[in-house]
Amino acid sequence: MYQSIKNYCENLTTQFDTISTERKEILSSIAQYIQQKRNNSAAINLIYVCTHNSRRSHFGQVWAAVAASFYGIDNVKTFSGGTEATAFNINAINALKKIGFEIISDQKVSNPIYKVKFGESESADCFSKRYDDEANPTSNFAAIMTCSDADENCPVIFGCDLRIATKYDDPKAFDNTPLQDQKYSERCQQIATEILYMFSLLKE
C-alpha cells in the first residue's frame, strides 16, 4: 500500500469516536456478514450502490478494497453500481488523488474504466454501471446502499445475501461552488472512516 494512503488510514483509525452509535450499529451488521463469510472461508463480495454510480458508491468500492488490505482481510472483492450509468465523477476522482491514489485511464470515452491504484499491485477498477451489470456478481453478495434515492428505487436486488443502507449526503450539491473540493474531501473521509471502522471489527 502506498505510504500516503497507509498514513491516511492510520490517522482515520483514531477518529472512530466521531461515528454515531446508530451508524456503528449499521456498520456492525455489515461486519457480521463479512465475519460469517470469513468463518466459512467463502468469498466476500460487496457492491456499493447509489443512483448514478459516480461518487459515493465509488468511494465505497475503493475504500472497502483499501480497508481489506489495511487490515489484512483476504478474499474480499468490491464493486459498485447504480440505478443508471453515468461516469465516475471528476470531483470524486480528484478527492482520491489528493490522498495519494494513482488513477489511470487511457480511454477517451464518456464512461471510461479507471484503475484506482492504492499500492504497486493493489487497485480497484471503477466505472459507472447499473448494479446488475455483468461486471458485478449476481449472487452471494452484500448490497450496500449509499444514497436514499437508490435505496428507494431499488426495492429488490436479486441475488444479494444482505441489503443494507449506509446513506451519505451527496457532495454533488456543492458542484461548481467554492465549497466543492472541501465537501468532496469530507464525504470521502467520512466513507473511509466508517469502512475502516467496519473492517476493524473483524476477528481471526
155-164 pLDDT, tens digit each: 678 899 999 9
Number of H helices, E strands in the chain: 6, 7
Q: Report the amino acid identity of residue 48.
A: Y
Number of domains in the chain: 1
Rounded to whole angstroms, the Cα distance separating 114 from 41 reads: 30
**pLDDT on residue 51:** 86
Model pTM? 0.94
Q: Is the model's pLDDT at 154 over the cut of 70?
A: no
Tell me the pLDDT band of 149, cut-offs 50, 70 and 90.
Answer: confident
Quick: pLDDT tens for 27-84: 999 999 999 999 999 999 999 999 889 999 999 999 999 999 999 999 999 999 998 8
Host H or E run for residue 143: strand 141-145
Which CATH number does the domain housing residue 68 bear?
Answer: 3.40.50.2300
Q: How many CB atoms lie within 10 A of CB 190?
A: 19
Nine cell digits for residue 179: 465549497
Domain that includes residue 84, residue range: 3-200
